[in-house]
Chain A
Amino acid sequence: MGYANSDHGNAAPLAVKILIAGGFGVGKTTLVGAVSEVAPLRTEEYLTHASVGVDDLEGVGAKSTTTVALDFGRITINRDIVLYLFGTPGQERFWFMWNDLVNGAMGAVVLVDTRRLEVSFASIDFFESRGIPFVVGVNCFHGVKDRTPEEIRRALDLDPQVPLAFCDARDRTAGRDVLLTLIDHLMAARPRTTAHPVA
């Protein structure tokens, strides 16, 4: 296929990633688990080193540092592409220290819980400030749709261009549909280039 890196001798596919964000307990890990083809994996990082690149061990033996954990899953798209989903740690201040987490993401899904919309404000601010495309997924805990999309948009002060979709983070199809909403959004947001008209 045309997009495979032809100068690459090995058989590794192309990796892409989507971030699953939102405040504490909004269902990030649940969504990753619902759509991933493997049981979600967990890994962690030492933020002091990730961010400042400490290059000697002086003093390190004595002190601990901030450990931040994230969980992730994978979806094999086809022979050439594998999609990784990263449930971001709830505290957004970490993301500024952990460039590798955000860099290179296709986009993000920000999950919100209508009972606690405010816990996801910081995630929305983050992606807006970084210019990273995102969609909002309204996780309907217990199937409750207690607020209209308009009410939620207003409460989140959401840009009218940002799609908002209801979902159940525990459901594979619903989770997949939120990811599809993001992909459609990315396709629509792509600027039309006259030099390369889309056939």
Chain B
Amino acid sequence: MKHWTEGFEDDDADEPLVRPYTITGGRTAPERDDLTLITLVTAASEVSSEAGRALRRMQPEHRTIFALCKRPLAVAEVASALNLPVSVTKILIGDLIEAGQMRARPPLAFAQAGGFPDMAILEAVRDGLRKL
């Protein structure tokens, strides 16, 4: 059986940065710094006609993201689906949030500022894992 990691080629290791940043109109850093790898993003269920027109003027990648996120997806999942680097994906998602077409739910922060995880969440994760 083929190991599933086969086919993950590092063929683009030295690819110049031009193409991904063409999609972002030359921007290389996201304007918002609140998107993380596991921020969950969801397409807005109703989009104003104005926002809908804006979407049609955006890059095809924006429309792909919008279509993918009918159900909540992590930023990392969107990046993976589009085969784009995380930072580029964040810029595109930021555009959609800015335009009122997507919503983001930040993850629960652990291991930061000496915070300890909520016992209720740990219990829920434990119970969920036991069912695996």
Interface residues on chain B, number (Cβ under 8 Å): 58
Query: Given the complex, which residues of A lie within 8 Å of B80, measured CB to CB?
Result: 41-43, 72
Interface residues on chain A, number (Cβ under 8 Å): 78
Q: How far is the CB of A15 from chain B (nearest CB, A)?
A: 4
Q: Tell me whether A104 and B122 are in contact (CB under 8 A).
A: no
A132 touches B (CB below 8 Å): yes
A97 touches B (CB below 8 Å): no
- Write out, one digit per residue, whether chain A residues 40-62 have a CB within 8 A of any chain B CB (1) or not (0): 11111110011001111100111
Query: Given the complex, which residues of A lie within 8 Å of B116, measured CB to CB?
Result: 189-191
Q: Tell me whether B87 and A45 are in contact (CB under 8 A).
A: yes
Query: Given the complex, which residues of A lie within 8 Å of B40, measured CB to CB?
Result: 12-13, 15, 82
Q: How far is the CB of A153 from chain B (nearest CB, A)?
A: 23
Query: Given the complex, which residues of A lie within 8 Å of B60, measured CB to CB?
Result: none
Contact for B39 among A11, A15, A50, CB less than 8 A: A15
Within B92-116, which residues are at the interface with A (CB < 8 Å)?
A: 103, 105, 107-112, 114, 116
Query: Given the complex, which residues of B lie within 8 Å of A173, measured CB to CB?
Result: 132
Chain B residues engaging chain A, CB cutoff 8 angstroms: 4-5, 8, 10, 12-18, 21, 26-29, 36-42, 72, 74, 76-77, 79-81, 85-87, 103, 105, 107-112, 114, 116-130, 132
A-B contact pairs, 10 of them (CB 8 A): A11-B42, A41-B80, A43-B79, A46-B87, A55-B27, A56-B28, A67-B85, A78-B127, A102-B111, A131-B111
